[in-house]
């Protein structure tokens, strides 16, 4: 079984061909890191254009997104905001403004400018898909951002111990093994999202909270079927650490197994960080209940997915994936397959 470094890829000028079409799914802090790495829009080895579509969860019910959602009956906008900023053209001053959070104790306290703008655009234009398209123009975003489902949605988790938990925030707080995840009311995915998955060359799932971000972004009606039938290479980016309350004790293969149980045979490659991790980082996150995800290559292989193991860690003490390392690995996988 070869590591990522042992794979060889052809190098040389690319002919005039259509862009490499990438769909990246999820939310939270993980998906923006994938998008930031891919945002330059060019495959570095061959010079091929890269067209990026983000499929973003809108199930957040906490913080600014949750309050705007409850007050105005719109989908949660915070994850879409972060993805738009990640795709924004390098020096666009609006990107920093979108991330400004109001302080104090007034009616805007805790809200970000971008969330308020997206809420206003959703009201003006009628849905979040049109709102993100309009915001993408303002930010000169180098890619599309689409909501994972049309209209407001609420997560419902069936736990292995028989409990039923409603809402994204309640899911992590429940600290139980998730047997299945669903939407309280079925909602279709936007047609353009389904088309993007079917036409993609590469579909990226994660990294991020497995249940409340990654799988939450794949519950719109039609998405599972599109994932099963697309000819794209489907890559699960496995988290570096377990997440307390969601994936306690999970190995890399357990992440693959959970996605397969929820969606079927939709993983071709499991992209995993090559251990070990820095001891100081491991100790710091252990204090919060997180543990390094064990890389069990044989078990991944037995599930029908190809394990690709390489360095994905960002510098510093964040315990997160590096955008450029992610982009290099993902585009390398696309070339190899």
Domain enclosing residue 92, as ranges: 62-143
Say what the pLDDT of residue 3 is.
53
pLDDT digits (tens, 9 = 90+) for 323-335: 999 999 999 999 9
Kindly report the average pLDDT of the chain as a whole number.
Answer: 93
Q: Are residues 316 and 194 in the same domain?
A: yes
Distance CA 116, CA 78 (A): 10
| Alpha helices per DSSP H over the chain | 30-38, 63-72, 78-87, 93-98, 113-125, 128-139, 168-174, 191-199, 223-229, 252-263, 279-286, 297-302, 323-336
Q: Are residues 47 and 115 in the same domain?
A: no
Q: Are residues 158 and 271 in the same domain?
A: yes
Greatest CA span in the chain, whole angstroms? 58
- Asked if residue 157 has pLDDT above 70, the reply is yes
| CATH code, domain carrying 292 | 3.40.50.10680
Query: In Å, what is the CA distance from 231 to each residue of 19, 202, 244, 258, 267?
Result: 16, 9, 34, 22, 12
Q: Are residues 211 and 305 in the same domain?
A: yes
Domain boundary among 108, 143, 178: 143
- Asked if residue 221 has pLDDT above 50, the reply is yes
Q: Are residues 40 and 138 in the same domain?
A: no
pLDDT digits (tens, 9 = 90+) for 69-85: 999 999 999 999 999 99
Q: Residue 162: is it exposed, middle or buried by C-beta count within 10 angstroms (0-12/13-18/19+)?
A: exposed
pTM of the predicted structure, to 2 decimals: 0.93
Query: In Å, what is the CA distance from 104 to each residue of 38, 70, 100, 311?
Result: 36, 21, 13, 41
Q: Are residues 119 and 186 in the same domain?
A: no
| Residue among 192, 147, 139, 141 nearest 38 (CA) | 141
Domain boundary among 143, 173, 198: 143
Q: Are residues 250 and 163 in the same domain?
A: yes
Q: Are residues 16 and 154 in the same domain?
A: yes
pLDDT digits (tens, 9 = 90+) for 225-280: 999 999 999 999 999 999 998 899 999 999 999 999 999 999 999 999 999 999 99
How many distinct structural domains can be found in the chain? 2
Q: What single DSSP character describes residue 280? A: H
Distance CA 23, CA 2 (A): 26
């Amino acid at each position: 079984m070869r590591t990522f470094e042992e794979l060889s890829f052809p190098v040389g000028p690319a002919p005039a061909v259509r862009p490499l079409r990438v769909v990246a799914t999820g939310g939270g802090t993980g998906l923006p890191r994938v998008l930031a790495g891919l945002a330059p829009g060019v495959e570095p080895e061959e010079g091929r254009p890269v067209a990026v579509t983000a499929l973003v969860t809108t199930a957040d019910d906490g913080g600014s997104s949750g309050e705007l959602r409850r007050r105005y009956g719109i989908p949660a906008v915070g994850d879409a905001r972060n993805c738009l900023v990640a795709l924004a053209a390098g020096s666009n001053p609006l990107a920093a403004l979108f991330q400004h959070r109001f302080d104090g104790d007034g009616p805007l306290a805790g809200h970000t400018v971008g969330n308020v703008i997206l809420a206003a655009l959703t009201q003006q234009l009628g849905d979040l898909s049109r709102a993100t398209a309009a915001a993408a123009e303002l930010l000169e975003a180098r890619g599309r951002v689409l909501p994972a489902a049309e209209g407001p949605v609420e997560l419902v988790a069936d736990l292995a111990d028989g409990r039923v938990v409603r809402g994204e925030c309640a899911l992590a707080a429940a600290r139980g093994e998730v047997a299945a995840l669903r939407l309280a009311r079925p909602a279709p995915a936007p047609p353009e999202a389904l088309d993007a998955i079917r036409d993609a060359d590469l579909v990226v799932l994660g990294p991020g909270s497995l249940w409340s971000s990654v799988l939450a972004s794949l519950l719109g009606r039609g998405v599972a079927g599109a994932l099963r039938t697309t000819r794209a290479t489907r890559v699960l980016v496995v988290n570096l650490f377990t997440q307390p309350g969601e994936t306690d004790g999970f190995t890399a293969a357990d992440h693959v197994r959970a996605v397969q149980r929820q969606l079927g045979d939709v993983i071709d490659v499991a992209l995993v960080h090559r251990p070990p991790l820095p001891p100081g980082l491991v100790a710091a996150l252990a204090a919060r209940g997180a543990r390094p995800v064990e890389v069990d290559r044989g078990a991944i292989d037995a599930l029908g997915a190809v394990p690709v193991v390489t360095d994905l860690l960002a510098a510093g003490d964040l315990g997160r994936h590096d955008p450029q390392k992610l982009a290099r690995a993902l585009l390398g996988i696309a070339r190899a397959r």
